[in-house]
Structure 1
C-alpha cells in the first residue's frame, strides 16, 4: 500500500464570504498536514490535495459533513510521495478560469450537460451520431486524448467560448465533452446548450475517473495533471503513446516545463533532447540568463521572488496619482 494519497475534486456550490473561507480552509488543511492547491470562489471549490491516507480521509469527511459540499466526488490516487511541496488555498473569481462569471448566464447548478458514468461514456463514444469533444488546452491534449476526439487550439480554458462557433458543423449530433476531472465540462457543456447544441453530455469525473472505472480504454497517451507528477497513466487496456518530442520528433510520453523561468512552457521532450537542450524548448531559452538547472524531471518548485519596494511604490503612484500628477 502506498504511503500517500492524492485527491482531485471540485464542487459548484455557493460560498458566502468565500475569501475568508479560503483563509480558514488553508489553516484547516495545514492542521491535517496536507499539501496541495485549492481554489475557492463564490461559486465553489476546486482542489488537488495530497497527504497520508488518514489525513486525506479526515479531509474528505470534513468536506462531506458540510452540507454545501456533500455531493463532492473525490478521485483518489495512491502515490509514493506527496504530489505537492506546499499547501496553497487561494480566493479567485472562478474555480476554473473561463470568463463565464455571470451565474445568470452560466450556472452549472441550474443547467449543464447530462452526466455520463465512465462505462456509459465508453459505450456511446464510438457511435456514428456522436462527437467526442476535448475541452482542455493544447498542452493537455497534446500529451493524451481520446481516440478520434475533436480538439481545440486553445492555450487555456478561457478561450473556449470563442471556439464554440468552430463547432457549428456538429450541431445535430450528440456532443460528449470530457476534461481531466470534470470541472471544465460543467461550464463548457452549459455554454454549448446555450448556443443551441441540443444533446450535450459530459464524462462524469473526467479522464481520471474513466481510467479507474473503465480501464482507460481508447484514451491514447497520458493525462496531464496539475501537480508534481505532471502526467499520469490512464489506459491499461490498449495503451499507446501519441505525443512526440518537440525538438527531434521522436515518440515520447514525457512532458516538462521549459527550464527558462521566463518561458516555463509545457511541452513534450524526450530524455536525450532534454539533456542536450538542458530542459529548454529552444536554443533561445537555453541561452537565457534565467534558465534553471535541469535535473531530468522538468518540474520546478516556484521560488518566491524578492519584493521590489521601489517598483511597488511606482505602481502605487501611477494608480493613485497625487493632486499634482492629476
Structure 2
C-alpha cells in the first residue's frame, strides 16, 4: 500500500526573516510527521519531503494558506514509506546554489510550458532542449536529442553560456528535475541576449506525472532515498551502463566511500561484489560505509542540530 507521499516543490517569494521562518517551519514539520530537506532563503523556499498522505495534504494546505506561498506548485508521488530518515531545514543564501543572486525569477524568467505544451513543442525543428542539470544526473537519463552541459554543479552553468552562442536564433527550452534550476537558468539566458527562452514548468517529474514522460530516455535522478525514478511510460529506454562491468544499467549508486561519494550507475551484481564501491581502492578505503544494496546514504548532519531553538515536548 502506498500510504505515503513524496512532495517536490519550490516557491520564489520574499521571506523577510529566514531564520525565524526556519525555526517555525521546522517545528511544524516535527509536529506533523514531515521528513526531508528544505532550504529557506530570503528569495524563497525549496523542498523535497515525505510523510503519510494525510500529513502531506495538511502540509500543502497549510503552506499554501500563507499568501507568500499560495502559488506553490507541488509535484506529488505516492510511495510505500518515508523517502527520508531525517529532517533538515536550513537557511542558505539561495534556494538553489547558482551564484546568480542578482536574478529575480519573479520579475523575469523564461516562458513556462506546461507538460502538454512542452510535449507539442519539443520536437520542432527550431527548438533546442537544454538540460541544465549536473553530469551525474543527465548521465543516467535525459530527453531524446537534448543538449547537455559538462557541469559538476549548477553553479557552473553561467560559465557554459558561451558554448550556446550559436543557438541564439533558436527556441531554447530548459528543463531540470522539478523546475527550480530553470527559473534562474532561463532568466540568465535572457539576460545574456537569448530572446526565445522557455522552461518546462514543474520539470521532468511533472512531465512524467501529467504527460506520460514520452521521449525521456533512462531514469531521472532524485534527491531522496529512491536515487532514481522511472519517468517514461510511453517509450522507455536505458541510456546508461554499469560503471564497473559496462553492461546496460540504470541503477544509480552513491559510492560507499564517503570521500569519493561518486554518483554512478552500478548493476546489482557489481554492487554486491564491490560492496557499493565504484573502484577497488574505494572498496578498501577504511571509511567505507556499509552497503545495504541500495547505494543510498543519509547525509551527515555536519553540526546541524534539528532541535536548535526548539522547546522539546515532555
User: Compared with structure 1, are the counterparts of its residues 170 and 305 closer, same or farther at alpha carbon in structure 2 (3 Å cutoff)?
Assistant: closer
Aligned twin of 1:95 = 95
Aligned twin of 1:34 = 34
The farther-off stretch of 50-59 and 276-285 is 276-285
1:115-264 to 2 correspondences below 5 Å: 115-264=112-261
The farther-off stretch of 16-25 and 145-154 is 16-25
Cα RMSD, aligned residues only: 1.3
Aligned twin of 2:78 = 78
Aligned twin of 2:308 = none
Aligned twin of 1:311 = none
SS in 1 for 2:58: helix
Shift of 1:262: 1.1
Task: Provide the TM-score with structure 2 as the length reference.
Answer: 0.95
Runs of 4+ in structure 1 displaced over 4 angstroms? 303-307
Provide Cα deviations, 1:231-268, integer angstroms capped at 9, x if missing partner.
Answer: 11100000011111111111101001000011111111
Separation (CA, whole Å) in 2 of partners of 1:117 and 1:304 = 37
Task: Provide the TM-score with structure 1 as the length reference.
Answer: 0.91
User: Compared with structure 1, are the counterparts of its residues 186 and 300 closer, same or farther at alpha carbon in structure 2 (3 Å cutoff)?
Assistant: same
User: Compared with structure 1, are the counterparts of its residues 129 and 303 closer, same or farther at alpha carbon in structure 2 (3 Å cutoff)?
Assistant: closer
Aligned twin of 1:113 = 110
List runs of 5+ in structure 1 lacking aligned partners: 308-326
Aligned twin of 1:61 = 61
Aligned twin of 1:274 = 271
List runs of 5+ in structure 2 lacking aligned partners: 305-314
Aligned length: 304
Shift of 1:302: 3.5
